[in-house]
Amino acid sequence: MTENDRISSIDVMRGLTLVLMLFVNDLYMPGVPAWLGHRPADFDGMRLADWVFPGFLFMVGMAIPFSIGKRISGGQNTFSIARHIIIRTISLLIIGVLMLNSGRVNPEFTGIGKNLWAILIYTGVFLIWNKYQENDKNFFTIAGLRLAGIAMLVVLVYKFRSGEVENNGSLITSWWGILGLIGWGYFVSAFIYLAVRDSILNTVVAFLFFLALNILSKLDLLNSLNPLKSIFGVIIEGNVPLIVLSGLLTTLILKKYSKSDFRKTIVTIVTVGVLSILAGFVLRKWFIISKIQATPSWGLICNGISMMLFALLYWIIDIKKHIRWTLFLKPAGENSLTTYLAPDILYYLIWSTGIPILIYKQSDVPLIVIAGSVIWALLMVGLTALLVRYNIKLKL
């Protein structure tokens, strides 16, 4: 398998995790079945919503050997690729922190309402990171749009005030937000792949290293590193990198075996997935299964589920060629960042009006609430397809 070979099941599973993410994020309503939502931090167990984000992190890892491998085969040197990794990471961290702080805006001190501040932030993000169709005639137009986006973010950050004591009321990094977590996981895993390339053994060693970090962190044996945790906490705690590396490892198994023996590929991925789940339940003796606490037991079980689900999709889509049913997931799978961010703009616009447009959220009937969130998620995939048609799509 070369870096240019397209594995359709990767796009499908990425699209599926995004649709589920949109669904569970919209579903926070009383009365819906408990197995669809998140477990509290101190609860030993997991529901559908507790797998969705690690499922997407897994897909971030799966994409790394293809994206970095394409740059390597295209002749880019290590410095150029490293610069790309760093810029992409910083971009994700910036957007993640801005999203994280959107709910902390104090209109009285900021001079801008929460909803308007968030809408302008997202507008700036799209102006800066949109993938424009560049040519000699529109260079200055595109440069102007990006500079306008940068200026917009700078002004909004400067004006931001939370009215809280924490960080003197200015922006906080805290847990970096969803995109920030993705950024740190990508940063670690991309540099590991750049260093070890397609070596399964070395990737397993890296995975075990971050599993050990996760275990030691949860046992409070890494307290000497506390001064570094305000910035590098996601790396030190190990949980996010080990999930992303799990996806990277799955792709390496694909690259090694899929052309010669797809059965061996599937059996290997399923076997590793089962072992990961079993290891998670073994560690449950010492660590509860908790997404909020990012425990190693939770991470390993999620990895195992992702591996087994991917193996199933790979067999159905890439081996048996049953792909027509997946077409509705294509826009989300190919434009993940746009799919994730665009719905938030709609949310803030709706909240700004004060009109209960999302009427299903007013219902006391669980089936109506669930159906409404399903329709919302699918409509957001349609929105992504529409935006892409008009050349509005984010690319880091």
Tens digit of pLDDT for each residue in 295-321? 999 999 999 999 999 999 999 999 999
Instruction: Report domain extents, the chain.
Output: 8-389
Torsion of CA 98, 343, 123, 85, to 10 degrees: 60
Long-range contacts, 229-233 (Cβ 8 Å, 24+) = 230/173, 231/173, 233/175
Q: Which residue has the tokens 């009383």?
A: 30
How far is the C-alpha of 62 from the C-alpha of 22, rounded, in Å?
21
- Mean pLDDT of the 105-124 span: 95
Confidence of residue 136 (pLDDT cuts 50, 70, 90): confident
**3-state SS, residue 358:** coil
Q: Is the pLDDT of residue 1 over 90?
A: no
Confidence of residue 27 (pLDDT cuts 50, 70, 90): confident
Residue type, 278: L
Residue 232 reports pLDDT greater than 80: yes
Is the pLDDT score of 35 beyond 60? yes
Of the listed ranges 28-32, 75-79, 99-103, the least confidently predicted one is: 28-32
**pTM higher than the cut 0.75:** yes
Average pLDDT over residues 113-124: 96
| Rounded CA separation 51/40 (Å) | 14
Structure tokens at 29: 């309503």
Q: How confident is the model at residue 3 (pLDDT cuts 50, 70, 90)?
A: very low
Q: What is the pLDDT of residue 69?
A: 92
Phi, psi of 365 (to 5 degrees): -95, 115
pLDDT above 60 (res 20): yes
Average pLDDT over residues 199-207: 97
Residue 30 contacts by C-beta under 8 Å, 6 or more apart in sequence? none
Burial profile 306-326: b = 16 or more Cβ within 10 angstroms, e = fewer = bbbbbbebbbbbbeeeeeeeb
**Average pLDDT over every residue of 84-88:** 97
**Is pLDDT at 143 greater than 60 in this prediction?**
yes
Q: What is the pLDDT of residue 5?
A: 60
Position 18 scores a pLDDT of 95
For residue 2, the model assigns a pLDDT of 47
Q: Grade residue 28 by pLDDT with cuts at 50, 70 and 90.
A: confident
